[in-house]
Chain A
């Protein structure tokens, strides 16, 4: 149980376009999901906490208008990178917190974004 999927697994886009990444909890409902960004050979940086039915909570230094997060249902959160630029190229990972799993998060497989 506790499977989290992401789509797409990789995406290449042109500079200036927007890209949407989906994160789904497949076998549980998640009121809270998290979005991370990972640079090559570095640790995960928490970008924001996505709360179902309310606005996301962004970490300091993360641009809200750049990285739009929507948690439309208990099984789906989306991250939209708007007006993408090459410096937005990164590995984006989501995670979800199943009810009853104290402090435990389950991670999606990640999405590799390359902006040309």
Chain B
């Protein structure tokens, strides 16, 4: 079945550091890939997405490229801020409107 593997956290960085959160997947067919962010006490917000190979999703300085050859969708940001502290979930979906398969989430802590 479909699965998503994320690097374990927590990841602790200093402000303005470079961020990478690794995400790899296994799926039947051609999935759409997503990164969601969850701030403390809140629901999930879509951060970015990519629907086909080599697509790059980007939002708020975050980027991720759909790499079919390595089945990866790593999240990157060049300079993190304290306000980026949250839990980040990688997810995939196959078919139209079907359920999402989530990774376990990676907690990011950004310190001054």
Within 8 A of B (CB), among A13-39: 32, 34
Contacts of B49 in A (CB 8 A): 104
A42 smallest CB distance to B (angstroms): 7
Quick one: which of A34, A93, A103 contacts B95, CB cutoff 8 A?
A103
Contact of B96 with A102 in the complex, beta carbons under 8 Å: yes
Quick one: which of B34, B36, B43, B102 contacts A6, CB cutoff 8 A?
B43
Contacts of B36 in A (CB 8 A): 107
Q: Is A105 on the interface with B (CB-CB < 8 A)?
A: yes
Q: Is B11 on the interface with A (CB-CB < 8 A)?
A: no
Contacts of B45 in A (CB 8 A): 107
The number of chain B residues touching the other chain, given as a range, is: 20 to 34
**A41-60 Cβ-contact flags toward B at 8 Å (1 or 0):** 11110100100000000000
Contacts of B41 in A (CB 8 A): 110, 112
Using known A-B contacts A103-B98, A105-B100, determine if residue A44 contacts B51 with beta carbons closer than 8 Å: no
- Bound-state CA distance A48–B63 (Å) is 31
Contact of A97 with B97 in the complex, beta carbons under 8 Å: yes
- Bound-state CA distance A41–B51 (Å) is 28
Using known A-B contacts A43-B105, A44-B102, determine if residue A103 contacts B96 with beta carbons closer than 8 Å: yes
Q: Is B17 on the interface with A (CB-CB < 8 A)?
A: no
Quick one: which of A43, A95, A108 contacts B103, CB cutoff 8 A?
A43
Using known A-B contacts A93-B43, A102-B51, A109-B42, determine if residue A43 contacts B99 with beta carbons closer than 8 Å: no
Q: Is B75 on the interface with A (CB-CB < 8 A)?
A: no
10 tightest A-B CB contacts, nearest first = A103-B93, A103-B32, A110-B43, A107-B44, A109-B43, A107-B43, A43-B104, A97-B97, A43-B102, A93-B43
Chain A residues within 8 Å of B, Cβ to Cβ: 6, 32, 34, 41-44, 46, 49, 93, 95, 97, 102-110, 112
Q: Return 19 A-B CB contacts under 8 Å, by A number.
A: A34-B99, A41-B105, A43-B89, A46-B99, A46-B100, A93-B44, A97-B97, A102-B32, A102-B96, A103-B32, A103-B95, A103-B97, A104-B46, A104-B49, A104-B93, A105-B100, A107-B45, A107-B46, A109-B42
